[in-house]
Amino acid sequence: MTPAPSLIPELDEIVGRGDPKRRNDAVRRISELYLQGAASFTSDHVSLFDEVLTSLVPHAEVTSRAELAERLSVLENAPRGLVGQLAQEDEIAVAGPLLRRSTVIDEQMLVEIAAAKGQDHLLAMAERPTLSSEVTDVLVSRGDRAVVRRTAGNAGANFSAGGYSSLIQRAGQDGVLTIRLGQRDDLSSEQLKDLLGGSIDIVRRRLVKVVKPERQAEIKQAMADITGVKGWALSRDFSLAQRTVLKLGREGSLGEGALLNFAKAFKYEEAVATLAAMSGVEIETLDRLISGERDDAILIAGKASGLEWATVRALILLRAGPNRTVSPLDIENARVNFVRLMPATAKRIAGFWKTHPSV
């Protein structure tokens, strides 16, 4: 223990007039002393190091502070003052490791940091092994899409009733969030029904494929309650739609006009079957791709098939469903992406889908 006090007399001189190299060297030397003996230190020892390091570390370079934060993040008896100081830094490389896993940061400090810092800090905090409802309330309230998704996907996170209500409301515009919430074991039957009620049919069917068998039964019952129709199908049946498309083909009426009519009438199975016939991509593959988070599959298949933007737009609205609106901004972004997409690129991707139907 004696080497540490021997550094204290020169501390003021190092902080006040020491060059960066000297400061970094002092941080490294004192930190190493602490890290080597941390397992056997008493509270007095910890306090001594805390006092020295909280004075010295702020003057060290970012790389030195980040390295120290990483090593302290796994110590149960890390100096509390130093950890708090580092965890509140604006530099995410320094604060991040501590926010993700340090057990030294108390609940009050987590809430304060969550309420004051930016999205990178919130995202790091969302990865903690456990999160109280007090912390998740702030993460859900202030977090952007990435933060909220990661928080919802954290099995160790706890949510208040209000937090869950906010999550379910946000999930209405976020299929990925819907999937993550639907997989949570602590989601009640009523909350599941609210979640499904605000989601589009494509997302509901994606959710069925990834949840546990017992949750599938809950989803089926919830959908029966929502729609008033018993026996909600867990998967789509394209057999009738295929027969319709074959008939149109024999009559010479299969083309963009028929596809546009199906899309405007929100006849999903018929529209996908028609698009599959026009693009040469298998129905099941196209259905799975369209069921993804983004509209990219529709843009690619549409460009590869030589469709006009009006038809592609109708397919995007079809994907959302008849009772939901797509924001003008999202539509415009999709239009710009469709215009920029080169036909050769779209055909190459569609060709890959044809040869790799399980993509």
Give the tens place of pLDDT for each residue, 197-238: 888 878 888 888 888 888 888 888 888 887 776 656 666 889
- Reported as a single tens digit per residue, the pLDDT across 138-185 is 999 999 999 999 999 999 999 999 999 999 999 988 889 999 999 999
State residue 8's pLDDT score. 45
Predicted TM-score (pTM) of the model is: 0.72
Residues 6+ apart with CB under 8 A from 19: none
Pairwise CA distance, residues 19 & 32, whole Å? 20
The neighbour count for residue 177, using CB atoms within 10 Å, is: 24
Which of 159, 163, 89 lies closest to 124 in space, CA to CA?
A: 89
Residues with Cβ within 8 Å of 44's Cβ and at least 6 positions away in sequence, in order, are none
Backbone angles phi, psi at 325, to 5 degrees: -110, 150
CA–CA distance, 286 with 277 (Å, rounded to integer): 10
Q: What angle do CA 49, 55, 57 make, to 5 degrees?
A: 85
How many CB atoms within 10 Å of residue 323?
8
pLDDT at 3: 43
Instruction: Output the pLDDT for position 39.
Output: 79
